[in-house]
Structures are given as structure tokens and as C-alpha cells.
Amino acid sequence: MDPTKAKPPFLVRLATFIRFSHTVFALPFGLIAMLAAGGGRVSVAVFGWILICMVASRTLAMCFNRLMDWDIDKLNPRTEGRHRLVAKPHAWLVLLLSTLLAVFAAARLNPLCLALSPLMLLILCFYSLTKRFTPFSHLFLGIALAVAPVGAWVAVRGTLLELPPLLLGAAVLCWTFGFDLIYSTLDVDFDRAQRLFSFPSKYGIPAALRLARVLHLAAAALFWAFGRSAHLGTAYNAACLLTFGALFREHQLAKTLLPERINQAFFQINAFVSIALLAGTLVEYRVWELLQIAAAPRGN
């Protein structure tokens, strides 16, 4: 960072520190689950607390990840500037405040959400430790992102024992596991030098890309199965077809092994996947009509 230039505002630096733009990966699936659980209709309060809980949960998870990897990130050319964005005491403070906010939001939703909040915190934070002892750290990232749709379903329905959230959670797990395998190919040499665990550094890049293809085929099938179980129709199925095409393109880019292509595959294509499926769900429930009804003036 150029010392002659003024620092951006703290919130801008914090958003970069926690990669706030990557909220586009998990948040749409939480909203999809919320809409499906409520049949397209949820109260403003439930929607608001779900949104607060999801943003706070992701913030605490990313702060924990950055704090645990603080010294490691300094050594990696791809991440060496992260520690300059936010001072470590400030990161700890944001972690504490976002944790309290996530638990408070869960409590405002229903008793089951509150009861499950310690498990949520454990899952979200545990991923950051896994690269120290298992090459399947990518699996744990998938589990962490799968919390979003499952948690949103529980927030609306007050139960976990239904098929649709489990299918959507499994789809998100496979999808995330797959794209993180692709992204981690960028750090193979660094991981080996630092004796960190990742699937590509242990089993090689070709094996990682093969496993990612299998996982994304499974994810595509599970996204479709979720739509069937949640009684979604043509618009959602069309979004599933677009998703399959996007994932196919992702693997075309990944096999080039070019960093700029892998970065494109990681962010742009996976953002498209989540947004396309959310758009298909919004069309299914004609959400724009519900918004018009809610905004219409009421007669005496």
C-alpha cells in the first residue's frame, strides 16, 4: 500500500478484508431456501433477521479465518497484503461483535435457530483450522456454506427434518467443494513449501480437477432434485440448465491452469450459478407481484 495515499475508510477496508463481494456465493442459497420454505411468502421480520444472521455469520467466519491465517497470509504473494487492511485488534473486535449479532439474530428467529447457533459457530470457524491437518479442507468449506440454506429453512419452518433443505445443502456442499478444489490449484507450490494441507498439493492438480468435475456433476443433479422436492417448476429448471452450462465452462477455464482464467472461473462463474438459481426461484414465486401487492395503497 502506497504510504503517500490516504487510506480508504475503515468499512471499505473491512469489506475487502473479509471479501464481502464473495457473499454472493452463500447468500442467494439462503434466500432460495427461505422462499421455498415459506412458499414464496415470508414476513419482513423473518427476512430481515435471516439477512442479518447470514451477513454477521459470514463476517465472523471470515474474520476468524484471517486471524488464524494472519502469519501464513503474509508469506503468500497472493495474500500478503491482507494484514495491512485491518489491524489485528480491530479484526478481533469485529469478530466478537459479529458473533454476538449472529446469535442475537438467531434468537429473534425461533428457539431451534438459537439452539443450533453454537453448532453453526463451530462449523463456520472449524474450516479455518482444517488446512493444518487434512487435505480435505475444501470439504469443510462446503459444509460451512451449506449452513446458509439449511439455516434459512429452519428459520422459516422451525424444523430441520425435511428433504428440500438437506438436498439444497448437499448441492451447495458439492458445488463449493468443487470450486474450492479448482481455486486451490493456485496455491499448490506455496502449500507444499509451508507444509499446509490441500487436495491438489497432496494428490496433484489433475486429480483435483477430476474430483471437482465429479462434485459439480453431483451438485447439478442435487440442485435439480431440490427443485423437484420443493415443487419448483419451469423457471427454476431453466436456471438449473444455465447452471450446468456455467459449470461446464468453469472446467474448461480451469484446465488451462492459467491464474487469470482460474480467478474468472472462481468468482464470475460461481457468482452466476448462485444468482441464476435465485433468479429462477424468484420467477417461480412471482416475487415482483408480491412486492407490488405489498406496496399498493389499501382502501378504507
pLDDT digits (tens, 9 = 90+) for 27-84: 999 999 999 999 988 999 999 999 999 999 999 999 999 999 998 888 888 888 888 8
Could you tell me if residue 300 is inside a domain?
no
The per-residue pLDDT for range 189-248, each reduced to its tens digit, is: 999 988 899 999 999 999 999 999 999 999 999 999 999 999 999 999 999 999 999 999
Could you tell me if residue 255 is inside a domain?
yes
- pLDDT at residue 278, as a whole number: 96
Could you tell me if residue 239 is inside a domain?
yes
Beta strands in the chain (DSSP E): none
- pLDDT at residue 164, as a whole number: 97
- pLDDT at residue 156, as a whole number: 96
Could you tell me if residue 3 is inside a domain?
no
What is the arithmetic mean of pLDDT over 289-297? 55
Q: Decide: 262 and 185 in contact? Cβ < 8 Å.
A: yes
State the total domains in the chain: 1
- pLDDT at residue 288, as a whole number: 54
- pLDDT at residue 81, as a whole number: 84
- In sequence order, which residues have a C-beta less than 8 Å from that of residue 148 and are 6 or more positions away? 26, 27, 29, 30, 33, 54, 172
Residue 161, SS3?
Answer: coil
Q: Decide: 176 and 61 in contact? Cβ < 8 Å.
A: no
Could you tell me if residue 152 is inside a domain?
yes
The per-residue pLDDT for range 248-289, each reduced to its tens digit, is: 999 999 988 888 888 887 888 999 999 999 999 999 988 655
- pLDDT at residue 8, as a whole number: 86
Could you tell me if residue 6 is inside a domain?
no
What is the arithmetic mean of pLDDT over 117-142? 95
pLDDT of residue 3 exceeding 60: no
Cα(143)–Cα(138) distance, integer angstroms: 9
Q: Could you tell me which residue, 4 or 212, shows the higher pLDDT?
A: 212
Classify residue 49 as exposed, middle or buried by CB count within 10 Å of its CB (0-12, 13-18, 19+): buried
- pLDDT at residue 1, as a whole number: 47
**Domain interval for residue 238:** 11-288
Cα(48)–Cα(147) distance, integer angstroms: 18
- pLDDT at residue 22, as a whole number: 81
- pLDDT at residue 7, as a whole number: 78
CATH assignment of the domain containing 63: 1.10.357.140
Cα(129)–Cα(145) distance, integer angstroms: 16
Q: Decide: 50 and 30 in contact? Cβ < 8 Å.
A: yes
Looking at the chain, the number of H-run helices and the number of E-run strands are: 15, 0
36, 38, 95, 16: which is closest to 225 by C-alpha? 36
Cα(176)–Cα(154) distance, integer angstroms: 21
What is the arithmetic mean of pLDDT over 109-131? 96
The per-residue pLDDT for range 78-104, each reduced to its tens digit, is: 888 888 899 999 999 999 999 999 999
55, 59, 37, 163: which is closest to 110 by C-alpha? 37
Could you tell me if residue 293 is inside a domain?
no
